[in-house]
Amino acid sequence: MSVAMSIKTKHTDLIKTEAQRLGFLSCGIAKAEFLEEEAPRLERWLKENRHGEMQYMENHFDKRLDPRKLVPGAKSVVSLLYNYYPSESQIDNTYKISKYAYGMDYHFVIKDKLKEFMHNLQEEIGEIHGRAFVDSAPVLEKAWAARSGLGWIGKHSNLLTQQLGSFYFLAELVLDLELESDHPVTDHCGDCTACIDACPTEAIIQPYVVDGSKCISYFTIELKNEIPASYKGRLDDWVFGCDVCQDVCPWNRFSEAHEEPLFNPHTALLSMDKKEWQEISQDVFNSVFQKSAVKRTKYTGLKRNIKFLD
């Protein structure tokens, strides 16, 4: 083995060991390059206005497709998965929020881990340049995770793994470091159409294509205007996000509860019934969702969503 190859292997092993130590479910690596296959798909999706009012999706088109435009000299994209599947769920027959928003906002939790990750790499390796991303920049996270062998993109457009399902966050380190790349895995959706059949708003318009402007998550989080009246009775009691396509996916029977205390929900959240949701005050909202991703929709947005469901 050449010296260069041995250093590459050493750095790769270091990164995977560190990812495990920091509590990530898995870690995969891909060469930083232009995403040739994704480019026409993204262009078509935007042209067909599948992003609705999410204008930010139109920005930085080139950066979304080439991480070297985000990190000059980038050589590798390290993709990471972090579990958020809860041990307990909300009571039945209540207004629902996505499981990922039960506890503290994942941006804070994972960003801190990535800062520590970068610091430790620099301590071990020396001067390296890179950036950490958690759903916070124009990075096609699922495409990179699939390229690095962490799973395949399912018919609902979420990343899926045979061992873990899909209830995890994605994060990336884009580094100017030569590393050994992993290989993509095969698609195991087969003939299953559970997610397509179950979607309350028919947002999965064909296998592997989601019309974001029809998604319940879009209506309850991203949409700033009123929810279209034509969707009355179709939001399935979701007031922040939606987990339907993941809940019905057979691969999620392998999901295991996370071990991250910061993702544990406020004690009041899981037991809140519809009446309590309808009467929620600004103070209760601030208390229950103090550091939660639910803050994104704000108190007024949550009240709007609840009122739409009444």
- HSE-CB of 68 using CA atoms within 13 angstroms: 11
Token representation of residue 120: 């430790």
127-164 core/surface letters (b: 16 or more CB in 10 A; e: else): eeebbbbbeebbbbbbbbbbbbbbbbbbbbbbbbbeeb
Q: Is 126 left (phi over 0), alpha (psi -120 to 50) or beta?
A: left
State how far the Cα of 79 lies from the Cα of 179, in Å rounded to an integer. 13
Cα angle, residue 231 at apex, residues 225 and 235 outer, rounded to 5°: 95
Structure tokens at 11: 């750095």
C-beta of residue 142 within 8 angstroms of C-beta of residue 170: yes
SS3 134: coil
Q: Where are the alpha helices (DSSP H) in 84-129?
A: 106-125
> Residues 13, 62, 92, 135: which is the catalytic one?
135
**310 part of the active site:** no
Torsion of CA 189, 193, 196, 200, to 10 degrees: -130
CA distance linking residue 144 with residue 142, whole number of Å: 5
Q: What is the CA radius of gyration of the chain?
A: 20
> Which DSSP string do the residues of 58-84 spell out, in sequence order?
GTTHHHHH-GGGTSTT--EEEEEEEE-
Q: What single-letter DSSP state applies at residue 310?
A: -
Write the CB contacts of 214 (distance below 8 Å, at least 6 apart in sequence): 201, 202, 203, 205
Residues with a known catalytic role:
135
